[in-house]
Amino acid sequence: MQDDPASQATDQPTSQPTDQPTLQADPQTPIETSTAQYSALPVSSDEAWQPLIDSHGEIEIIFSKLGAGIEELILLDEFETVALVENIRLQQRVENSNNFSAVPFSLAWIKIDDQDVDISGSRQNVWSQLSPGVFETTVVDAQGTPVAKVTRRYKMRETAHAFTITQSIENLSSETHTFRFLPTAMVDMPKAKNGYAGDRRRVRYGTLRSPEQQGSSIKVNVDEKLANRSKLLGSKIKDANGNKHSEEAKVVWPTESTIEKGSRLSWIAFSDRYFSVVLHPMLDPMSADPDDRLLGSSVESVSRMLLSTYDTAPDTTMLLGTISPEFTVAPGDTATITNGVYAGPRTKPVFAADPILAALNLPDMVVYNIGGFCAACTFDWLTNILIAVLRIFHSISGDWAVSILLLVVLVRSCLHPITRWSQIRMQRFGVQMQSMAPKQKALREKYKNDPKRMQQEMSKLWREEGISPLGMLGCLPMMLQSPVWIALYATLFFAVELKHEPAFYGIFQTLSGGSWMFLSDLSSADGAIPLPSAMHFSFPLWGNVSSINILPLLLGVVFFAHQKYLTPPTQATLTPEQESQQKMMKVMMVVMFPVMMYTAPSGLALYFLTNSTMGIIENKWIRAHMKKHGMLEIENIRAEKAKKGPGFMQRMNEAAEAKKQLMEKGPQAPNPASRRNQGKHK
């Protein structure tokens, strides 16, 4: 189990400056000035900066004049909706009501000889663009003499959705100085517009163990706890204005626990349901030196800051700030650090195709796990098999909805022997219990004032009827299938391949000339009947609701039929109150699940519809098979029991009873029905 820095973040002191805001004020906001030994030299140019676009046409970076950071990081090949109009902005400057901004990947401060120097440009422009993605500012002393030149360079990599950020500082003075960079890293990824299944944003880490434990191994360990970002936000505190999250910077790395264990940071990432933004070191992928996989040469510590701290947890903006190691730079020399950034889909094939990301074990960051109490029974190896099979089916069928149906059929076929054995056992046990119900009722009436005697007589009746309590465990194999269905649910929910993919070859859009968007996006609700914008609303369980969805209603119908055919015969006579409770439970199951699934991705709804429909067909086939062979006739069940002889539980009960009789009354005559004595009485 790896360390989980998100859950261990503390308010312990760091070397980050505390006498100035790390979040940057907008240039229009007046800020009181103070006498400083060093300051950034203002520039007169007010020209708009050119954006940077990669050669693949996948990323466009629009730059901010606050710290030469990122104003917007736009994914040119990804869109917010199936309309393919609004591009996804994976990173962007976020501003609060006080005009303070969280700017991703900016350089607002540096340290010169332990003096904090503001180079954010929040008072006036201090950065110049030399060329697209290349920026420069000059730091002067109190007399206006140049001391250092700071350069930031963004460069697109050849691989998809990836770029580098290089920061260098040249000593322009005649004296040796020490320098530190204090850049920001990622800002929170945008909150999902559809709130189904809650906030799925997470903070992820790649680490190396201590040098002694790591040895020569180059494997980067990926955190396993899947902590949501709320862990890093921390709990709220109350002040005169209400409840808020603490504004103080919390240390993300290193924490006391990671220091004690010797864990070392390789990379850090923000992720959501489909995308990730990763800050990582640049290295030779073929390097056999584990230390090359560390951020330590460029990042000494990481802290989180917050914007809009009075907002709810999903609406509070989190920003990561980093501190570089200290560099001693002689006159005329330059210190440089370079980091890599990945910003794009969170998928194993993409990570594996990038040699650097593969060397950092980024593919292991991709997990199909909804977390919570289901996390423990969602096995990575199982979800990896399911997503691989889903991709194979897509390569054959060319349609993701068809692939989902085929995957469900395959899984149910593989589990059919277990399902068949389990249902036969449950149905036969139900018939046995029904046949014994009158006798049980008579015993309850006869010994209603003597619970101990009633229990003894009930046990005796069970032995005489040849019924084993283990028959009640017939549903256990079906329960053991739950991890498979949970894994399939999680796989479909997080599969980025389903995003904006139409169902069944887009047949509904083709027939309607593109006017009917029903099942046009397997990652969203089916959208059968769009609602006017004035009728859109939000609901905590559903998130944003913009349409009337048909699939959840069909789910209710199928669940009703599924429940009718799968409910085993009543095992005992029920009181009117128990019958009323049972009916209420059935109604709750039929109604509540479709309600919970109302805004679920249509790919998940198709999965549930297919699975439940197949369950009904399978159950009817099993029942027909049992009826054909007389497997539910009580006489046949008893004859089969007699032929097999006493079962395991009956033999155990006989042994316990014999021991009790021996202790109380001495040796007794052997039971002729006992298996060990059957041969003697033939």
Q: Please identify which residue in the block is written with the tokens 């996948």.
A: 58
For the domain covering 5-10+36-366, report its CATH number.
2.70.98
Report the C-alpha gap between 20 and 42 in whole angstroms: 19
* CA nearest neighbour of 182 among 16, 305, 9: 16
Given a contact cutoff of 8 angstroms between Cβ atoms, the answer to whether 669 and 489 are in contact is no
pLDDT value, residue 27: 46
The tokens describing 283, both together, are 């290295």
Write down the residue that tokens 């201090």 correspond to: 126
Q: What is the rounded CA–CA span in Å between residue 571 and residue 436?
A: 9
Report pLDDT for 662. Answer: 66
Q: State the pLDDT at residue 623.
A: 84
DSSP 189: P
Pick from 368, 364, 369: nearest CA to 351: 364
- Torsion from C-alpha of 583, 588, 594, 600, nearest 10 degrees: -150
Query: Distance between CA 74 and CA 53 in Å, rounded?
Result: 9
Q: Are 309 and 97 in contact (CB under 8 A)?
A: no
Cβ count within 10 A of residue 652:
12
- Give 305: exposed, middle or buried? Use CB within 10 Å, 0-12, 13-18, 19+: buried
Closest to 136 measured CA to CA, from 20, 41, 36: 41
Provide the pLDDT for residue 284. 95
User: pTM for the whole thing?
Assistant: 0.82
DSSP readout, 81-110? Answer: STT--SEEEEEE-EE-TTSEEE-TT-EEEE
Query: In whole angstroms, how far apart are CA 319 and each of 188, 340, 421?
Result: 6, 18, 54
Burial of 71 (0-12, 13-18, 19+ CB in 10 A): buried
In this structure, are residues 269 and 277 in contact, taking their beta carbons and an 8 Å threshold? yes
* pLDDT per 10-residue tile (average), the chain, 682 residues: 45 38 48 65 88 93 96 95 92 89 95 94 92 96 95 96 97 96 94 81 94 95 85 84 84 92 95 95 95 94 90 90 96 97 95 96 92 77 93 96 95 88 79 80 84 83 70 59 85 93 95 92 93 85 86 88 64 61 75 85 92 88 85 76 62 63 62 52 47
Beta strands in 426-578 (DSSP E): 529-530, 537-539, 543-545, 547-548
Phi and psi at 272, nearest 5°, equal -130, -155
- Per-residue CA distances from 368 to 365, 542, 660 (Å): 10, 21, 54
**Per-domain boundaries in the chain:** 5-10+36-366, 380-637, 645-677
pLDDT at position 147 is: 96
> Which amino acid appears at position 496 of this protein?
V
pLDDT of residue 657: 63
Q: Is the dihedral of CA 197, 200, 206, 209 positive or negative?
A: negative
User: Is 209:348 a contact under the CB 8 Å cutoff?
Assistant: no
d(CA 165, CA 155): 7
pLDDT (0 to 100) of residue 470: 57
What pLDDT does residue 671 have? 56
Rounded Cα distance between 353 and 362, Å, is 11
| Measured CA angle at 310 (ends 309, 311), to 5 deg | 90
User: What does the block give as tokens for 164?
Assistant: 């580098």
So what's the pLDDT on residue 241?
A: 82
